[in-house]
Amino acid sequence: MDPHASPHPPATAAPRTRLSIRNKLLAMVLLPLVGVLPLLGAFLLWWGDEGIDRLLLTKVRSDLAVAQGYFERVLGEVGASTGTVAESHALNRALVEPGAMADLTPLLARLARRERLDFIHLHAPDGTLLATESGTAPAAAKAPPGRLAERTGVEVLPPAELALLPAALRQRVPVPLVPTRSAAPTASTVESRAMVLRATRAVRGADGQLLGHLSGGVLLNRNLALIDHINEIVYPEGSLPFSQWGSRGTVTLFLDDVRISTNVRLFGGETQDRAIGTRVSQTVRDAVLGRGHTWLDRAFVVDEWYVSGYQPLVDSAGRRIGMLYVGILEQPFTQLKYVALASISALFIAVMVVAAFVSLRWARAIFRPLEQMEATMQQVEGGAMDARVGAVASGDEIGRLARHLDRLLGVVDEHTRELRRWNAELDAKVAQRTLALEERTRALEEAQQQLVRSEKLATVGQLTASIAHEVNNPIAVIQGNLDLMRELLGPQGQACVASEFKLVDEQIERMRLVVTQLLQFARPTEYAGYVEALDPTRALDEGLVLVDHLLARTGIQVQRDGQATRSVAINRQELQQVLVNLLVNALHAMGQGGTLRLSTRDAGADGVEIAVADTGPGLAPETLARLFQPFFTAKKGGTGLGLWISRGIVERYGGDIVAANREGGGAVFTVRLKTGAA
């Protein structure tokens, strides 16, 4: 395995997409809206469209029923009017009374006006035409059998009867065909037939005999008054919604497929021209006239779309001769749909915008704590351990997370501080132990040196002891022989060599002194008793007493400064020997006058210093260098062993003696000793 390979992927690997959570949330909110709202809009439109269509068709169906009802009422009125004329007394009398026949035409004209009939034809019981209201009566005109049976209905006038109509009425009949889109193809250019509402009644005398047949009717071709009236009844003012968008109702009477009477205007109702002569589409024609269905659907009428209802008009023989039509202009409702579509779209966009705005604001509020947390963690990473998210307004999971992070950071900070504290304590302990170890090592080294020195001293002691011993015997022999020579020479002889004897005595004495001192050093146990705790100041005073006889002969001043509070552990005689040696040296150095300064003080952790200072000549550098060597002396009669032995004694107790020159002149010898229990 590669030792450098990390088991974890690198933490800095950049995410593939940089879409922030806020944008993701926004997408989450808006995507359903984008997906669902258009669907909802489309459904609403479809549903509204369907609903409006159904509603309109239902309305047209009922409008058609109303129109049909009114049409039948008019037909009934035609029947009733014709009946009234047939039963009128005047007509009866005119038919019964001889000679009154000549007055028939004016009578019929009057009755027709009164009963609002367009025409009245009077036939004899045998069918011969007797009179018409307009006076147009061809002599040979005779109705075919069965034509005069009593009935009321809509019918197409046969050409013979058409000819009976007055000229003014006949003028209304021919309808020039207007070429119409999607109408059934035709070769003819004019519809010259007349469609009428007609009733036929028998005219009977008082005794019930048949006097004749009366037929009265109303011409439907270009009967604008009738069609406008039907329109007013079916579509009274304000009955249609969206009149501000031009909604309007239309009514038409068709003869076959040709509009013979209508309120449909040509070219979008801009002109007063009615669409008379235009034709219905082939589809409607086939359905209504061909198959006898009632047509309820949108249909293209003249030049606009209408929600239409067509119903066949059937004559008394059962033939479908024409159609009754009602319709509502579709355009305002289409406009309504467009307005609805635009409104829904606008609403949709508004909802999207508001949703985006609200969700953005909300997302910002939700993610502010997250951003604060990220900033805080970056600060902490940068070393600001006391950085915190702080107060967060939201109490939701993210808010709790932020507070949790703060607590966590607090705990981590606390632990870090504790670790640092431990670390510092550990460092201090290590330093302490190291110091202690160093001290011990030093003590060990000292002890080691002490041991070596002691061993050396012991060896030197043994050596000097044996030498001293070896020297003592020859001295005794020399001394004995010298005494013998004195006896042999007698007083005179002695006088001759007195100075030689004196020299020999002195040298023998000196040898004795050296040997004595060497033996003192070599066999300390002979002199030293036990080690005790001594007051250094007192020991110094006692030493001074011992050299008192030397001091007495001089004018030397003594100053004492005993400050030591500790005691020293040493044998009394040995300390005394050391101090006396130093005192004697000082007195020797000063001669007849000066100041001897004696002081003690506590030194270091466990030491005492005893200083003997004089105002003598001080120590020359070469003296200082050799001061503690054995047999170094600058004194007449000195052995040069005093300082060497003193240092040996003090070192045996772990102490030391140092010599130095004083600033104002003179020398100072300082004895350093370890303290002992008081």
Q: Would you tell me which residues interact with ligand ADP (CB under 6 A)?
A: 581, 585-586, 589, 614, 616-617, 619, 623, 627, 632-635, 638-644, 667
Q: Is the sign of the CA dihedral 31, 33, 38, 43 positive or negative?
A: positive
Name which of 165 and 578 has its Cβ closer to ligand ADP: 578
Q: Which residues contact 402 (CB under 8 A, 6 or more apart)?
A: 369, 370, 372, 373, 389, 392
Nearest C-alpha neighbor of 257 from the set 300, 315, 197, 312: 312
Q: How far apart are CA 48 and CA 59, in angstroms?
A: 16
Least distance to ligand ADP, CB of residue 562, Å: 20
Which residues on adjacent β-strands are paired with residue 667?
661
For the chain, the residue count is 678
Output 247 or 581, the one with its CB closest to ligand ADP: 581
CB of 522 to ligand ADP, least distance (A): 16
CA neighbor of 615 nearest in space, from 588, 647, 577, 576: 588
**Measured between alpha carbons, how far is 448 from 654 in angstroms, rounded to an integer?**
11
Q: State phi, psi for 239 to the nearest 5 degrees.
A: -80, -20
- Nearest-5° Cα angle at 431, 427 to 432: 115
Contact between residue 509 and residue 501 where contact means Cβ atoms under 8 Å apart: no
| Residue number with CB closer to ligand ADP (8 or 636) | 636
CB atoms within 10 A of CB 587: 21
**Between 91 and 641, CB nearer to ligand ADP:** 641
Q: Name which of 571 and 581 has its Cβ closer to ligand ADP.
A: 581
Minimum separation from the CB atom of position 487 to ligand ADP (A): 34
Query: Tokens 């049909």 sit at which residue?
Result: 68
Least distance (Å) between residue 613 CB and ligand ADP: 9
Q: Which residues contact 245 (CB under 8 A, 6 or more apart)?
A: 331, 332, 335, 336
In the complex, the smallest distance separating the C-beta of residue 618 from ligand ADP, rounded to whole angstroms, is 7
- Give the integer Cα–Cα distance in Å for 178 and 273: 12
Q: Supply the minimum distance, in Å, between the C-beta of residue 587 and ligand ADP.
A: 8
In the bound state with ligand ADP, the residue whose beta carbon lies nearer, of 85 and 627, is 627
Name the residue with tokens 């303290």: 675
Which residues pair with residue 121 across a beta bridge? 132, 215
- Shortest CB 578 distance to ligand ADP, Å: 11
Provide, rounded to whole angstroms, the least separation between the CB of residue 448 and ligand ADP: 28
Is the Cβ of residue 251 or residue 668 nearer to ligand ADP in the bound state?
Answer: 668
Of the pair 186, 633, the CB lying nearest ligand ADP is at: 633
Residue type, 571: N
> From the CB of 428, what's the least distance to ligand ADP, in Å?
48
Distance CA 644, CA 352 (A): 112
Taking the least distance from each CB to ligand ADP, the nearer of 300 and 628 is 628
Of 459 and 629, nearer to ligand ADP (C-beta) is: 629
In this structure, how many other beta carbons lie within 10 angstroms of the beta carbon of residue 423? 10
- Across the chain, how many H-helices and E-strands are there? 16, 19
**Smallest separation, CB 640 to ligand ADP (Å):** 5
Residues 6+ apart with CB under 8 A from 567: 533, 534, 535, 536, 608, 675, 676, 677, 678
Q: Whose Cβ is closer to ligand ADP: residue 213's or residue 647's?
A: 647
Calpha distance 535→538 (Å, rounded): 5
Alpha helix segments (H runs only) across 115-243: 159-164, 167-172, 224-234
Q: Which residues contact 373 (CB under 8 A, 6 or more apart)?
A: 389, 401, 402, 405
How near is the Cβ of 564 to ligand ADP at its closest, in Å? 22
Name the region of 401 (left: φ>0; alpha: ψ -120 to 50; beta: rest): alpha
In the complex, least distance from residue 585 CB atom to ligand ADP, rounded to whole angstroms: 3
Question: Which C-beta is closer to ligand ADP: that of 84 or that of 661?
Answer: 661
Query: Cβ of residue 482: shortest distance to ligand ADP, in angstroms?
Result: 25
Question: Which CB sits closer to ligand ADP, 186 or 661?
Answer: 661
